[in-house]
Amino acid sequence: MRKPAAKRLDDPHREFVSLFKDNCHRHRPHSVFSDFCEMAALSMSNAVDLSQYAPREARYLEIVKGYSADEVARFPQMLACVTEALEVRMHDCLGQLFMSLEMGNHWKGQFFTPYELAGLMARMTVHDAKEQIQQRGHITVMEPAAGAGAMVIAIADAMREQGLNYQQCLHVTAIDVDPTAAHMCYVQLTLLHVPAVVVVGNSLSLEERGRWFTPAHVLGGWGRRLRERQAVTDMQDLLLPPSATQDEAAADVVVEAAPSPSHGLSPLVQADLF
């Protein structure tokens, strides 16, 4: 009996596109994609963040009302495709789908960094990850223009290549002004179990319109871990001479995935869930 051919690497992507197009017969493509990302993010958030459960459940039900039963049934199938694709390899699955479906035309020419380029930048950024973790226990990443999370995923992947468990020694604060991009980022970081806080906001004006805590952040007790780290830093600032605190600060620089246009965003890391 002939064995079935191995599934091609891009099959989950192609199946997603097929399901997506089936849901576009009565709806605009950009609305279907945006609603899919938001519904997936809402369902994941409500599994761990009870403080925001009620409004997010109401928002989920509001979105669902616009679709037929068959259309609603396709959304979890689309999420299964994304999950399968990320299980095959770490990459910016939703960002690639966004670009291949030409969603950027609706979002005023929005363009997501190709994952290959993000991977190159990530390997240069965390080349000394083992040394940093030995000194401070974990790495903190600030991504002020996260998009779908390509740079964050690439950093996690680069750490994995070094034999490091990014699920235990990496924490991310990812910010994007576009809610759909933030939802894309949150969904992918959740599926990859990256400890993170995804902020819908403006890195330039410091405006914040929402926070999304990944399950890895909540289950890993990262709110407490980050507060404890900040408490140690504050105590060192009080007890050590200026030169010593400057040396310590230099050794504890937050790894930035992209040049940051603002220097006032680090407190976003501190007021975390649990």
Write the single-letter amino acid at 162: Q
Indicate the range of 5-14, 163-172, 258-267 predicted with least confidence: 258-267
Q: 3-state class of 271 per DSSP? A: coil
Q: pLDDT: is 204 or 112 the higher one?
A: 204
- According to the model, what pLDDT value does residue 4 have? 45
Q: What is the C-alpha to C-alpha distance for residues 257 and 268, in angstroms, rounded to an integer?
A: 16
Q: What is the C-alpha to C-alpha distance for residues 122 and 100, in angstroms, rounded to an integer?
A: 23
- According to the model, what pLDDT value does residue 186 have? 98
The structure tokens 């002020």 sit at: 144
Give the mean pLDDT of 180-195.
97
Contacts of 212 (CB under 8 A, 6+ apart): 41, 45, 49, 182, 183, 186, 197, 198, 199, 200
Q: What percent of the chain has pLDDT over 70?
A: 78
Q: What is the C-alpha to C-alpha distance for residues 175 and 270, in angstroms, rounded to an integer?
A: 14
- Is residue 107 pLDDT above 70, yes or no? no
Q: What is the C-alpha to C-alpha distance for residues 29 and 48, in angstroms, rounded to an integer?
A: 30
b/e string for 43-59 if b means 16 or more Cβ within 10 A? bbbeebbeebeeebeee
Q: 3-state class of 208 per DSSP? A: strand
- Is residue 269 pLDDT above 60, yes or no? no
**243-254 pLDDT tens trace:** 544 444 433 334
Indicate the pLDDT class of residue 182, thresholds 50, 70 and 90: very high
